[in-house]
Amino acid sequence: MKQNNQHDKIKVAIVGGTGYTGVELIRLLSAHPHAEVVLLTSRSQKGTPVADIFPSLRGVTDLVYSDFDDTANSNSLAELTKCDVVYFATPHGVAMTQAQGLVDAGVKVIDLGADFRLQSLEAFEKWYKQPHVCPDLLKQAVYGMPEVNREALKSARVVGNPGCYPTTAILGLKPIIDAQNTSEQAIVNSHIVIDAKSGVSGAGRQAKLDLNYAETTDNFKAYGVTGHRHLPEIEQGVNELLASSVQHHIRFLPHLVPMIRGMFTTIHLTLTDFGKTQDLQAIYDKAYDDEPFIDVLPHGQLPDTRSVRASNRLRIAVYQDNERGEATSLVVHDNLVKGASGQAVQSMNVMFGFDEPCGLELVPVVP
């Protein structure tokens, strides 16, 4: 390990340090007892002190943004290989240009983008409209969701950090899928509707007309109704990762709501006759009893996004109506924390053998 002797901390680089997930990584890692951010990149802000762009980080870091060049064997790669782990807080298509060189140098890679999430090359190329440049490395990549892949993460060299919507969908369904696998009987019918709402920071810090204040404030709209890139990731998570005994047909509908942070996902389910004999509250309570970041609310309580703001917590309520044959899983998290940077730090903790909550024991901010 290329630890700093002085502090005995692992060295961390963040490619894409001016974006929302990048700046969130800096915030979280600044409180981490075993990790230190030593390199941050931004092509547009190279040479600028981080605190000049983000006054919230004055006194937290003295780092100056470095340039980033994605060509093979570039100076950027040489600098990144001095670190123990590199986070890519960048759009899809960036991490895969550097991942092989980093792994060859013994550096672990955590991509917050989509390059290492979908195991199917065909699905990646269909949804992201570009060829994958390191398909062999993709096969070794681990989907970075500790609640599902904790063992595999311990030896992972490349991690595909989950998308924000798939995190809510997969974790919102996991207890039911696991219980179906154990009982070998369907608890819910195969058709599942996932109705999800995201705050505007989910789209990143880029300037875009439809993300203008006047376009997003006092407005609520659906998007991606004919197909969203997170759908194949949710399908992969439910049908393959959780090894569901029932092939589920998923309808996924994302919406943009006038909040900065936060995601609320409502999963509509229809109970089978067997499902009506099951106690879903007990199934969810037991499933997440030992998970440090998942909170199952008591019967009758409902989650709200404010209750998880700026924390790595994902909060779930499950509702069951046997008379109508319906069940609903209601899930909230902060898209920038458990939906992105917090989950990535959680995976890093597992990869390096640190206590899983290190740097993530944050109480949500209210109001």
Ligand X SMILES: NC(=O)c1ccc[n+]([C@@H]2O[C@H](COP(=O)([O-])OP(=O)(O)OC[C@H]3O[C@@H](n4cnc5c(N)ncnc54)[C@H](OP(=O)(O)O)[C@@H]3O)[C@@H](O)[C@H]2O)c1
Catalogue the active-site residues. 164
CB of 165 to ligand X, least distance (A): 9
Helices (H), the chain: 20-29, 50-53, 75-80, 95-104, 121-128, 135-140, 146-154, 164-183, 213-216, 230-235, 273-276, 280-287, 342-351
Omega before 367 within 30 of 0, i.e. cis: yes
Amino acid at 158: V
For residue 362, the minimal CB distance to ligand X (Å) is: 17
Q: What is the largest CA-CA distance in the chain?
A: 65
CA distance 112 to 115: 9
> Closest separation between CB of residue 284 and ligand X, Å?
24
Burial group, residue 273, by CB count within 10 angstroms (0-12, 13-18, 19+): exposed
Query: Which whole-number Å values give the CA distances from 345 to 110, 113, 250, 252, in the listed order?
Result: 9, 14, 29, 27
Nearer to ligand X, 115 or 188 (CB): 115
**Both tokens assigned to 193:** 């509707």
CB of 20 to ligand X, least distance (A): 4
Query: By C-beta, is 83 or 89 nearer to ligand X?
Result: 89
Alpha carbon distance 350, 200 (integer Å): 30
Considering the complex, state which of residue 205 and residue 221 has its C-beta at the smaller distance from ligand X. Answer: 205
SS3 call for 319: strand
- Indicate the residue among 95 and 238 with the shorter CB distance to ligand X: 95
Structure tokens at 323: 């008379």
- Residue 7 beta carbon to ligand X: minimum distance, rounded to whole angstroms: 26
In the numeric block, the tokens 């505007």 are attached to 200
| Residue 9: CB minimum distance to ligand X, A | 23
**Taking CA 324 as the corner, what is the angle to CA 319 and CA 329, rounded to the nearest 5 degrees?**
20
Q: Which residues bind ligand X (CB under 6 A)?
A: 15-22, 42-45, 68, 70, 89-92, 94, 112-113, 163-164, 201-202, 204-206, 335-336, 339-340
| Closer of 125 and 273 to ligand X (Cβ) | 125
In the bound state with ligand X, the residue whose beta carbon lies nearer, of 91 and 325, is: 91
Of residues 20 and 124, the one with the C-beta less far from ligand X: 20
**Least CB distance to ligand X at residue 277 (A):** 38
Q: Which helix (H) or strand (E) holds 142?
A: strand 142-143
Q: Which neighbouring-strand residues pair with 221?
A: 256
φ, ψ (nearest 5 deg) of residue 110: -125, 115
The token pair that represents 266 in the structure block = 């409502």
